[in-house]
């Protein structure tokens, strides 16, 4: 049976050293009991030598048998050695002293960029910068197929180009095109959509030279139309011609309807080498219109101006009536 000793104080019988038990003994302090060391348990005894802490404190050695407390830092600070390399302290990260991170470590191995730079690989672990190009440049591979580069792309071009569009929605006496004929083209085509007049009439044209209508009685042409009115079909509904007149007819059938909701006149007018001053200015039309009674009427005509002249444009008009709607688009075909 264990013996029990009760005392308020144990003191050594001689000297100042008090030994409790031997090296092979086990000394037990029961759970719940408080064992107080007044001066703290030193580092040499396996303690800290400190009697209290504040939440967040970090312990660090100031000597072989001495520990000290480093109070917690502020938010986002990191623990590093002080400038004297004697103790840790809290501080903000100095990004200027960080090394450049290599590609192999997930970085770029580049320390700076210019706005618009593009990164591209020059090897398995190497990145390079391509400076931004100029406005409207296009990115493509270089001739050696080794790296991207910026190039200026020439504007798109076509051998069939739109030169001018006019649209009318109220009464006008004449639709005029002038100044579109150039040395770039030998052939021109005008597309006409829903050209209607203020009253039923036929449509006519005059050439222009030096911004002036050619009104001399020198026009010659021939044309015909075919139609169907629901009862009668005709492949040769009307024949017509102009001989030495001051303008030329483009339609030869019965007078065309004036209403835009009937579709007006739709078709094309072709011009061949209008700037060739050694030849007669000429034209060819192919169109469709609605005649009186809403006939379905197809028309074709062609002719020329019987004076060798370079022309600069043309006038279109309804015979004795205003035009009140229509869209006119001129294209040129390059040589």
pLDDT in tens, 104-133: 888 888 888 889 899 888 888 898 898 998
Shared-domain flag, residues 111 and 200: no
pLDDT for the residue 230: 74
**Chain centroid offset of residue 151 CA:** 17
Rounded CA-CA distance 157/160 in Å is 9
Q: How far apart are CA 18 and CA 65, in angstroms?
A: 22
Residue 35 has pLDDT above 80, yes or no: no
Listing DSSP states for 115-134 in one string gives: TT-EEEEEETTEEEEE----
With respect to residue 10, please indicate whether it lies within any of the assigned structural domains. no
DSSP state of 70: E
Query: Taking Cα atoms as reference points, which of 215, 217, 218, 234 lies closest to residue 226?
Result: 234
pLDDT confidence tier of residue 198, bands split at 50, 70 and 90: confident
Same domain flag for 220 and 131: no
The residue that leads in pLDDT, 25 or 166, is 166
Please, which residues have CB within 8 angstroms of residue 59's CB and are 6 or more apart in sequence? 48, 50, 67, 68, 69, 70
My answer on whether 183 and 282 are in the same domain is yes
Q: Report the C-alpha gap between 302 and 317 in whole angstroms.
A: 17
The pLDDT assigned to 95 comes to 65
Pairing mode, if any, of strands 248-249 and 203-209?
Answer: antiparallel
Burial (CB count <10 Å: 0-12, 13-18, 19+), residue 145? exposed
Q: Is the residue at 55 inside a domain? A: no
Domain with 186 in it: 160-334
Q: What is the mean pLDDT of the chain?
A: 86
Domain check: are 313 and 191 in the same one? yes
248 and 134 part of one domain? no
Residue 138 pLDDT exceeds 80: yes
State which of 92, 126, 151 marks the end of a domain.
Answer: 151
Residues with Cβ within 8 Å of 119's Cβ and at least 6 positions away in sequence, in order, are 108, 110, 127, 128, 129, 130
314-326 residue pLDDT tens = 999 999 889 989 9
154-162: average pLDDT: 82
In a domain, residue 46? The reply is no
Contact predicate 141/147, CB 8 Å: yes
Is residue 27 situated within a structural domain? no
Question: What would the mean pLDDT of 133-159 be, rounded to a whole number?
Answer: 86
| Spacing of C-alpha 121 from chain mean position | 25
- pLDDT band (50, 70, 90) for residue 291: low
Whether 144 and 196 map to the same domain: the answer is: no
Query: Does residue 326 sit in the same domain as residue 181?
Result: yes
Asked if residue 316 and residue 181 are part of one domain, the reply reads: yes
* Between 6 and 157, the higher pLDDT residue: 6
Residue 172, pLDDT above cutoff 80: yes
* pLDDT at site 32: 83
Concatenating the DSSP letter of every residue in 181-242 gives --TTEEEEEEEEEEEEESSSB-EEEEEEETTEE--SS-EEEEEEEEEE-SS-EEEEEEEEEE
CATH number at residue 196: 2.60.120
Q: In the predicted model, is pLDDT for residue 250 greater than 70?
A: yes
**Most confident of the ranges 1-10, 68-77, 209-218, 250-259:** 209-218
**179 shares its domain with 249:** yes
Whether residue 69 is contained in a domain is answered as: no
DSSP string, 31-65: TT-----TT---GGGTS-S-S---TT-EEEEEETT
- Grade residue 22 by pLDDT with cuts at 50, 70 and 90: confident
Residue 52 lies in a domain: no
Q: Say yes or no to pLDDT of 254 above 70.
A: no
- Counted domains in the chain: 2
- Residue 80 placed within a domain: no
Instruction: Kindly state whether residues 255 and 294 are assigned to the same domain.
Output: yes
Name the band, by pLDDT with cuts 50, 70 and 90, for residue 42.
confident
Q: What is the pLDDT of residue 253?
A: 63
Whether residues 142 and 284 share a domain: the answer is: no
Final residue belonging to a domain, choices 125, 151, 177:
151
User: What whole-number distance in Å separates Cα of residue 251 and Cα of residue 224?
Assistant: 8
Is 107 domain-assigned? yes
Say if residue 298's pLDDT is above 90: no
301 and 328 assigned to the same domain: yes
Residue 260 has pLDDT above 70, yes or no: no
């Amino acid at each position: 049976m264990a013996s029990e000793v009760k005392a308020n104080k144990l003191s050594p019988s001689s000297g100042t050293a008090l030994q409790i038990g031997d090296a092979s003994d086990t000394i037990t302090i029961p759970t719940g009991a408080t064992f107080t060391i007044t001066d703290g348990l030193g580092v040499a005894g396996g303690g800290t030598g400190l009697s209290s802490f504040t939440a967040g404190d970090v312990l660090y050695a100031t000597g072989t048998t001495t520990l000290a407390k480093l109070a917690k830092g502020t938010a986002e600070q990191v623990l590093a050695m002080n400038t004297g390399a004697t103790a840790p302290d809290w501080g903000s990260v100095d990004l200027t002293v960080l090394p450049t991170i290599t590609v192999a470590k997930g970085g770029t191995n580049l320390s700076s960029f210019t706005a618009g730079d593009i990164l591209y690989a020059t090897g398995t672990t190497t990145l390079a910068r391509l400076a931004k190009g100029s406005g409207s440049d296009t990115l493509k591979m270089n001739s050696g197929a080794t790296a991207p580069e910026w190039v200026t792309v020439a504007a798109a071009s076509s051998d069939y180009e739109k030169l001018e569009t006019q649209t009318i929605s109220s009464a006008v006496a004449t639709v005029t095109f002038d100044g579109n004929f150039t040395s770039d083209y030998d052939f021109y085509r005008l597309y006409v959509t829903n050209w209607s007049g203020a009253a039923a009439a036929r449509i006519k044209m005059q050439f222009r030279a030096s911004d002036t209508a050619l009104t001399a009685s020198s026009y010659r042409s021939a044309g015909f139309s075919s139609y169907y009115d629901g009862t009668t079909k005709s492949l040769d509904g009307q024949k017509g011609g102009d001989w030495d007149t001051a303008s030329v007819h483009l339609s030869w059938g019965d007078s065309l309807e004036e209403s835009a909701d009937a579709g007006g006149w739709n078709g094309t007018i072709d011009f061949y080498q209008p700037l060739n001053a050694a030849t007669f200015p000429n034209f060819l039309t192919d169109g469709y219109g609605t005649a009186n009674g809403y006939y379905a009427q197809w028309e074709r005509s062609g002719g020329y101006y019987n004076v060798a002249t370079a022309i600069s444009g043309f006038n279109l008009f309804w015979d004795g009536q205003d035009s009140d709607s229509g869209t006119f688009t001129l294209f040129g075909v390059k040589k």
